[in-house]
Structure 1
Amino acid sequence: MVVDLNLLHWIYLLFIFIILGFMIAKRDASLVCIIGIFILGFIATQSLSESIMGVFNSFIYAIVELIGTILIISVIVGMSTVLTETGINQMMISPFTKFIKNPSLAYWIIGILMMIISWFFWPSPAVALIGVVLLPVAVEVGLPAIGVAMAMNLFGHGIALSSDFVIQGAPKLTSDAAGIPISEVISSSIPLVFIMGVTTTVLAYIFLKRDLKNGNLKVEDKERKEAIQKNKDNIDIMSSKSRKVFAILIPIMFLIDIIIMIVANLQGGDATALIGGTAIFILIIVSIKAHKNKAIEEITSYLVEGLQFGFKVFGPVIPVAAFFYLGSEGFVEVIGDFLPSNSQGLVNDLGVALANSVPLNPTIGSITLTVVGGITGLDGSGFSGISLAGSVAKLFGTAIGRGTAVLTALGQISAIWVGGGTLVPWALIPAAAICDVDPFELARRNLIPVTVGIIVTTIVAIFMI
C-alpha cells in the first residue's frame, strides 16, 4: 500500500538529515530536535499552543518509552556502588583477571560473552549481567571504557540481536511479513550475519588498536582511581569473610535468574525486570550487612545515586529520541491523528515510497532493502520497521523471481544494526551507561565499522540472490 507523502513527511525527512549532520559534526542536536518537533506539531495542528504542548508531550512519551532502560541502568549502578564500597566487586572480578591479560583479549572475550548471553536473553539483560563485572577488569589491563562499550554493543545489539537465532523474535516478524517460513530467513541470514559481524568487529578492533597505539585513545581512569581509593577507605565496613560469601552468592543469584529465564521462557523486558529486581534485593541485603543500623538511609542513598546517574546519562538523549519517536506510532500519541488514513507512520511511509520508486533487479533490490531497513531503524527500536522490510522483500523477490529470503534477512540486519542498535545513540544507551561513556561518542566510533559492514554485507547479498 502506497501513501502519498505530504509536507509532514518531507519536513521530517529534512530534519533527519539536519540531525545526522549535527551528529557527524559532533554538535549537540537537542535544539534541532525540539525545533523539528515544534514545526511538525504546528504544521499538523495549525495551532501555536498545541504545537508547544506537543514538544513537552513528546518528552513525556520518550521518557515513558525509555523508562525501563533508565531504571535497569539506575538499579545496576546503585547495586554496583554498594558492591564497590564494600570491596565485594573487586573480589568478584578477581577470577577474570586470569583470562583478560591485555586490551585485545578484553575486547574479544567481553564481546563473545556478550554475544552468547544476548542470543539467549537479548542484549539489555546481558549488558547488566556482564558489564559491571568485566568493565573494571578491562580498564585495568588497558582497554578504555569506550572500547568495552563498543565490544558489548557490536557483539550484543549488533550480531546477536540482528540474527536472533535462539529467541527468533526478529526472524518471526520478518518471515511473517514476507510470507515465507522462518527457517528460510534464518538460513539465509547466517552467512550475512557472519560477514556483517566479522567485518564490523574486526574493523572496530583495528581502529581501537590504532588509536591506543598513537595515543588518541587511552584509559581515562581518574574517576575509577577515586573509586578504588574509596574502596580502600571503606573496606573495613565489611569483613573479608562476608565479602567472600557475597562474592560467591551474588553470581549464584544471577545464575538462578538465568535458569528461571530458560524455564519460564522470559525474554526482553521480563528478563530485564528479573535482573533488575534481583539487583535491588542484592543492594538491600548487602547494605543491611554493611551498614547495619544505618542501612535504611543508605539503601535510599544508593537508589538515589543510581537514579541520578541514570537520568544524567539519559538527559541529552530524551529530546533526540522524542523527535524520532514521532516517526512511528508516537506521532499519533503525541500530536494527534493528522497522518493520511492509510499511513504506517512517517518513517515507514518514507521507506515504502523509496521501495516503490526504484527499478527492480538484484543489485537495486539489495541496496534498497538495506536503505529501507536503515531508515526504519532510525526510530531507535530496530524492530518497529522490520515487518516493513519483510513486506518490501516479498515485493522485490516476487518481481525479481527469486531471493525473497535473502532480501528479508538483509533488511532485518540493516534495521537492527542501525536501530537496535549500534548507530542510533538512544538505542545503545545500555552499553554506554554501564560503561559511563557518551552514547553519541559511542555511535560515532561505531559509524565507520558498521557502515563498512553494511556495505560489504549488501554486496554479498547481491551475489546470493
Structure 2
Amino acid sequence: MQLVAAHWVYLAGVVSLIGFMIARKSVLVPAIIATFLTTWVYSGDVLDGIGSVFSASAVALTEFLNIFLVLAAVMAMIGAMKTVGAEQRMIAPLARLMTNGVVSYFVLIVVTYLLSMVLWPTPALALIAPFLLPAAIRAGLPPLAAAMAIAIAGQGMALASDYVIGVAPGLSASGAGIPADMIADRALILSWVVGAVAITITFLLYVKGGAVQRIRRMLPYQRAVVARIEDVPVAVGSALVTKRLPPVPPVAGAGGDGPGEGEGQDGDTDVPSEGFRTRLFAVAVPAAFGVLVCYMLLGKVTDWVPAVESGHGAALVGGLALVLTVALTLITRGRDGVEQVGSHFVDGLVFAFRAMGAVIPVAGFVLIGISDFAGRIMLLPEDADPPSFLFDIILSGGRFIPDNPVLIMFAMLVAGMLIGLDGSGWTGLPFTGGLADALAGANTEHTATFAAIAQNAAGWTGGGTLIIWSSLIAVAGFTGVPVTTLARRLFVPVVTGLLLSVVVAAVLW
C-alpha cells in the first residue's frame, strides 16, 4: 500500500488529536484544521478544504442521527416522568441499598449496566445521576470512583457489546458477511472480561486502596449534582447545567391528586410524589422496557417469538420511549398534554446535542479517512474514487502481521482502538468486519472472533472510556470530575482488560 502526502497529513491529524487530549486541551480546533489540511493536500484546491470543514460535520451528523434521536426520545420520556416524580420513585428503592462506599460502587455498576443495555449509556446516566450518585457519595464513595464505575459499566461494557439494541453487531456483520449474532455473542463475553478487569483494578486503587481519602480531597463532589430532584441535569463538557421544569398544574378530574396536596412554600402546585399516577408510571415504564428486553432476548435464544431484526433494537427502544412519553404526558398534563409532548421532545434533542454535539466535528475528521464518507466530505465528483486514508494506513501495516491467529487478534485490537477515535466507536465497524473477513479467509469462526475483538476495542475506546470527545464528557459533567482526569484514570484498567480479553478470545475460540 503506497501512502501519499494526504495520508501523512491525516495521520498527523490523528496524532494531534491524541496529543491535545493528553494535554487536556479541546480537540475541536485540531480536528477542524486537520480536516481542512487533509482535503486541501489531497485535492490541491483550498476551496475544497474550506468546504470540507462544514461537510465533515454534516456527514457525521447524518451518520449519528439515529443515536441522537434515540437519546432524544429517551430523554423526552425521562422529562415527562419528572413532571410527576415517577423517575425518583423508580430509582429510590435502589438508593436505599447504598449503605457504604463498597456497596455503592457495585450497585452503581449493576444498575448502570442494566439500564445502559436497554436505554444506552447517556440516557441511563440521566436517571442515575440525580438520585443514585448523591446517595453513593453520601455513603462514602469518592466521586472519581463513582464516575469510573459508571463509565466502565455503561460507556464500556454495555456499549461495547450493544447486545440488546444490536446496532454495533449489525454494523460489524455488514462488513464481515456473517450473522450478527455470531459477533454479538462473542462481543458480549469479551465486554464482560474487560469490565471485570477494569472493575477490579478500579476497586483496588480507588475504592478500597489508601488513595481514597486523597482522591476525595482532590476532587470535592460538585454540589450542583445534588440539586433538587425536579432539576434536569444537562452535561456540557465538564460543566453541569440545570434546567428548571415548570410547575405542574392540577388536572381536572384526576383522582388522588387533589388541590393543595403538592403545594410547596412558594405556592407552586406539583403532583404529589405519593400520587397514583406517580406509582403507576414508576412501575409501568420499567415494566414496559422489561417486556421489550425479554421479547428481544427470547427471539435471540428461542423460537417462541419471531427474532427482532439486527439493528431494529434502536427503533424499538426509541419508539417505546416516545409512546410512553405521549401516554404519560396526556394523562398527567390534561389539556396541555399535546403541546407538552412536543416540548419534552425538543428538550430531549437539546440534551442530545449538548451532551454529544462536540463530537460531531471530530467524528467528521475521522470519517474523512473512510472511503464511504470521504467523497461527500471532500466534495469529490460522484464518479470519483474516494480515498481511504485511515484504512490504507491500517492495511499498510498488514504486511508486518504474521499469519498467526493470536497475533491477528492483537492486530484487530489495535485496529478497533484506532477506529474508536471517531468518538462513537461504531462508524468504522463495517471496515473492521471486512478486515476480519479478509484476515480469516474462509473460517467464519475466526471472522466472528476477529470482528468481535475489534468491535469490543472500538466500543471501549470511542464509546467511550479512553477519549474525551466521546460521551465520557457526559459522565464527567454529571459527576463533577474533569473529563481529562477521568480518561487518564481509566486508561490502565481498560487497556489491561482489553489485552486480557484477547488472551481469553485466543483460548476460547
Report TM bin, short chain.
0.7 to 0.9
Distance 1:179 1:281 in 2: 35
Q: Quick one: which amino acid aligns to residue 449 of structure 1? A: P
Alignment deviations for residues 204-243 of structure 1 (CA, whole Å, 9 cap, x no partner): 3344426653213343232541445879859843242222
3-state SS of the aligned residue for 1:49? helix
Correspondence for 1:349: 392
Where 2:400 maps in the other structure, the secondary structure is coil
Q: How much does 1:165 deviate?
A: 7.3
**Structure 1: distance between partners of 2:226 and 2:429:** 36
More moved, 190-199 vs 167-176: 167-176
Identity %: 25
Root mean square deviation of aligned Cα: 4.4
Distance 2:368 2:3 in 1: 16
Work out whether residues 317 and 425 of structure 1, in 8 Å CA contact, stay in contact via their aligned partners in 2.
no
Query: Equivalent residue for 1:139?
Result: 134
Q: Give 1:44's aligned amino acid.
A: Y
Indicate whether 1:387 and 2:387 are aligned: no
In 2, Cα distance between equivalents of 1:188 and 1:360: 22
CA distance 1:321–1:182, shift in 2 (3 Å): closer
Distance 1:433 1:192, change over 3 A: closer
Letter in 2 for 1:451: V
Aligned partners of 1:172 and 1:236: how far apart in 2? 47
Gaps of 5+ in 1: 398-402
Change (3 A) 1:315 1:253: same
Greater helix proportion:
1
Q: 1:207 to 1:44 in 2, by over 3 A?
A: same
Letter in 1 for 2:153: F
The match for 1:219 is 221
Q: For 1:129 and 1:264, how far apart are their aligned partners in 2?
A: 28
Distance 1:83 1:185 in 2: 36
- 1:414 pairs with one of 447, 450, 457: 457
- What's the counterpart of residue 320 of structure 2? 278
| 1:22 positional shift | 0.3
Indicate whether 1:301 and 2:343 are aligned. yes
TM-score (norm 1): 0.79
Distance 1:455 1:260, change over 3 A: closer
Query: Residues 297 and 344 from structure 1, CA distance in 2 versus in 1: closer, same or farther, beyond 3 angstroms?
Result: same
SS at match of 1:385: helix
Match of 2:25 among 16, 24, 27: 27
Match of 1:108 among 87, 106, 111: 106
Q: Which residue of 1 aligns with 2:61?
A: 63
TM-score scaled by length of structure 2: 0.73
- Deviation digits for residues 2-51 of structure 1 (CA, Å, limit 9, x no counterpart): x3222221111111011000011110011111111111111222222222
Contiguous gaps of at least 5 residues in structure 2: 232-243, 248-261, 300-304
Aligned residue identity for 1:217 = L
SS of the equivalent of 1:141 reads helix
1:85-234 matched pairs, under 5 angstroms: 85-115=83-113, 123=117, 125-127=119-121, 130-135=124-129, 136-142=131-137, 150-160=148-158, 162=160, 195-209=193-207, 212-214=212-214, 215=216, 216-227=218-229, 233=264
After alignment, is 363-372 or 246-255 more displaced? 363-372
Q: SS in structure 2 opposite 1:105?
A: helix
Amino acid across the alignment from 2:222: E
2:317 partner SS: helix
Whole-angstrom distance in 2 between the partners of 1:443 and 1:418: 10
Q: Is the 8 A contact 2:201 2:493 kept in 1?
A: yes
1:247 to 277, 282, 294: 282
Q: Counterparts in 2 of 1:309-320, with a 5 A limit? A: 309-320=351-362
What is the CA-CA distance between 1:195 and the residue it aligns to?
4.2
Q: Identify the residue that residue 400 of structure 1 maps to in structure 2.
A: none
Q: How many residue pairs align between the two structures?
A: 455
Separation in 2 of the partners of 1:203 and 1:333?
A: 43
Q: Cα distance 1:318–1:49, how it changes in 2: closer, same or farther (>3 A)?
A: same
Q: Distance in 2 between matches of 1:52 and 1:293?
A: 50
